[in-house]
Structure 1
Amino acid sequence: MTIDATAPALTTHTQRIDPEYVERERRSLSRHSRLRTFHWLAVFMSLVLTFSIWQYSRTQTALRTEARFTNAAEQVAELIQERLQKYELALWGGVAAMRTHDNLIDLHKWQTFAANLEIEHRYPGINGIGVIHQVRKEDLDTYLTEQLRDRPGYYIYPPHDGKIYQPITFIEPVDINAEAVGLDMVHEQNRHTALNQARDTDSAQITGPIVLVQDESKQPGFLFYAPYYQSDDHDTLEARRVQFTGAIYAPFVVHKLMSGTLDKDRRSTAIRITDGNQVIYDEISDQDLDYDFNSLGVRQITMNFYGREWILDIRAGLDFRAENSGIESIALLLAGLLIDLALLLLFIVLTRANRRGLAFTDMATAALDEEARVLQTTNAELVQARKAAEGVSEMKSQFLSTISHEVRTPLTAISGILVLLERAQLPEKQEKLVQAGKKASENLIKLLTDVLDSSRLEAKAVELWERDIAIKPLVEEWQTLARGMIGKLEKDICIVAEISDDSPDKFYADDIRVSQLLNNLMDNAIRFTKQGEISIKTYPIAATPSDPEMLVIAIADTGIGIAQDDLGLIFERFRQVDGSITRERGGAGLGLAISYDLAQLMGGDLKVSSELGKGTVFELYLPTHGSNAKGIDIE
């Protein structure tokens, strides 16, 4: 409903709306009490927009799904190639180690090299790393003699009468590869052919699919070769064949190659790897729980590396479908339809609301008139209640002041009697009782003093008697009192004082109240510091057009500190940050509140900063030229 800005104002005499304005609004409400053409047009346009957004979302979802599958497939291929490249680096590292020792590396040195390589951690998937020597028939006896010196049971198998032997001399770790030690590459075509290709090309090569003799599972495996030569001068094919000395090799099984980051549990796709006509790894099966008969993506990638051609068939599974279900577009459609329905319902509700608007306005006006009368009555009652509360507060302050004074007189007498008993040389047991009573009376006197000060401050009955105060004697007196309290409590705390060079010699203030303030802060610092340091520092703050010249007295400790969330509580009456700490160290929660009010009364301020577990710093700001204040309002 639109209200005419030119409608007559309510009359101050009757507080009623002008009748002509009421009639205009009634006619407007009548026109809007039924669905009109523009309502249906808005619903229709909303439906068109909803279906357009849904169709666009479907298209974008399909494109995004295709891109995600392509990325997942290419990532698998990249990870396989990256892992094989890491294996190759390990092999060339072995070649470098061999060349460093002039191709004469022994078993012990190879074991040291392999141990430092940390194959299990750095190169997951390979069974080990070893050395293959090429031995001519005329050098065979010498070769065997050298190997039998360290390993009496070493032999080359299977036996043959060829002119060249290519046995596995070393392999680490040997415990899982023992059956491979001594195996001659010449005996099997795949092994021998790939080794010769590595020799002729001076590059890393992989065999065709074989079964590793040390692999009990008998799954498809491979040998990875990196050749080494007698010297670096082998640029031609003939030179490489003449100078070929052997190869560093690594056996691996394909299913171990696919472990770790390539494991199926880390992917939402299934893989089949084919080498030539042989499937060497296969995850694609319609018996698999993740098999998707209507897969969202199928791709074949051909990888040519190290003399082999691997074909990767990659198929998206049910997990991929769950991650790319396209439910966003369906959710958008449902949400749009719900919004359209809500829009129609809103129009219906608005038309009904318009029919009831006028009647409701009349009722609301009557209710507002009644509420105004109730508010006037309530305001009058609140004024009376406030006056009564102020009277009670004044009576409370007078009562606290009177009772504190009356209780303090007999308590002082009791404290004096205890002092006399302390000097009477009583037996040890009675002496301890007198000491306990004396300490309790002192604590109670301090509590009564604090209550009396608090009530006086609250009643604005505290007067300041200001005079010149010398800073140096004030600080020295504070040090003496602090050391005395620390000695009495037998704490390992160092007292440090520092008066800045630009501090004034004197300042004008109430010396008794300043001493009370500093003693409260000293008592607080000592109680909450087990060991470390308590320091007092003074320095001035120059006057500004809006603020007088201030003297800052900072007291810092290395105690338990205060949490940031609790800093706002410490200046409140009878409030302590941690009740368990208070029970251990004493205190009623009045000292800091009184100190804060006294600082305000003297025209200054008391600020605190702290870090839990590292200590607290209180900064007392006092005007150097005093204040004429008589009291302060306490909330």
Structure 2
Amino acid sequence: MDDGLNNNEKKNKLVRASKMHTVHWLIVLLSVILTFSAWYYSQSQQSQKLEIQFEREAEKVVHLVKERMTLYENVLWGGVAYIDAVETDITYKQWSTYSNSLQIDINYPGINGFGVIHNIQPENVDSYLQKQHQQRPNYQMHPSHSHHEFWPITFVEPLDSNQQAIGLDIAFENNRYSSIKKARDSGDALLTAPIILVQDDKQSPGFLFYTPFYKEGAKPKTLEQRRELIEGVTYAPFIMEKLMKGILEKSNKYVSFQIWDGTDLLFDDHLNDDAIKIDKSPLFNQKIETDLYGRTWTFLIQSNISFRQNTTLNQSSVILIGGLIIDGFLLILFLFLTKANRQALKYAEKMTAELKEKTKHLEKSNIDLEKSNNDLEQFSYVASHDLKSPLNAIEQLASWIEEDCEEVLPEESKEHLALLRQRSKRMLKLLDDLLDYSRLNLTTASNDKVNLAEKAQDILSLLESNDNFSCLVPDIEINIPQLPFEIVLRNLISNSIKHHDKPTGQITIHYAKKDNFHEISLEDDGPGIPKAFHDKAMEMFQTLQSRDKVEGSGMGLAMIKRIVVHYNGSVNIISDGKRGTKINILWPMNSQPD
């Protein structure tokens, strides 16, 4: 009666195991959450990289402008140095020769000209004009104004494109005049506010760049001295559109921008560069203000279509798709396992019914009984084989994702993938051991001569970590069934190495004759087994350590016990639970199985 109740209880457990439970759905749900978390993290990291790339492109624009303006400043100060080096007042011919030697159009793209503006007091106007007329009879100062001093453009090269600027008295217009006075008073290079150049037919925004020079050469120390000794400025006129085309290349351009001086728009490449494709909803925007020679220029920079097209989030999409595929395979695995359990239960019930029927005719049909046993063995093989295929696929998929996403996956996700692969390999090992156990040949075997020392060394050489463990074995020959005994000895040595808590260890095998038994004992110096677990250790699927620490199916001692008991022997464990374990085997010398 009790056996019947126990069988019904076991059957009910199998029935429950053949259904999807909350824990299965929870695992799938957590896996999906982990996939989306990894995808979100990857997308966030990728977005940060894109933002850094955009900021680098934006800073590059500002840097190029500032770098080019510094180059032009050096040209203007070079002109000041040349003027100071000429002992007399510089002539038109001298300035023209010097300017042409610089090859401005070739070496300084973007600059509209290079010239000299003199400061002329009212009492010196006639002598100034007389001196200019000696080389240029048509030279005239224009336009008229009401200020008490004059700042006419004396020279400017190249002459052809700047003819209208010759003789222009820049004191006529406030932006030009106020900036040149600031340059005079500070002694520094300065820019004007936005102006329209007289030589620009398009009437587009531009500005002038001044560098002052004084009588007696060096910059005077005081403001009064600078105002008294000012002689003039070297200057360069700029048309903003021409300047920016000289600074920036169209190729590999991923940002568009505007440049403002206060409320005045200096440049807008949306209007000036047809090659730029404006992004109506840019990924990034940035505002950069920079002080530039007395003016504050504001750069409004945004990413364009080229930036969007050349920067994608493919990596995060791969993670999402790959993760969802794994989640799908995980769900399929659970469904497959539950279906396999149902099929196994159904098949077991069918086989049980057949066995019951055949048991009634056992005396007449021993051949049929043997066939049933073979069928069961074949079932174990097929079930194990069919279960291994999806496990191999999952382990392979995890490996591919780990390789493809190594640079973007967070460390936690890498650990989860490694754990998934480790668990898959463990289940494969469990299925292999289960298959070996189910197909273990326990038929009658005759005694063979076996050298105990040679057999132990052969087994040790085939095991991992064998170089780190030594094995002391008596060099004797015994009569014992060779194949079953080899399986027992191999599992004993393997367990001692596998469950050792140190990288090296000592294994000792003892042999003695006891009555009509071979007494074979294997003793190691690894961790002990508490007495309360001696019986449990020899049950199937039992390990005394975490499966994440020890790779094993928990079937080694169970297989040993099954073989030894089949040959009417016995196995027992001797250990104090602290250090060292001894497995003692009594194997009958006649080796006659039941």
TM-score normalised over the length of structure 1: 0.46
TM-score relative to the length of structure 2: 0.49
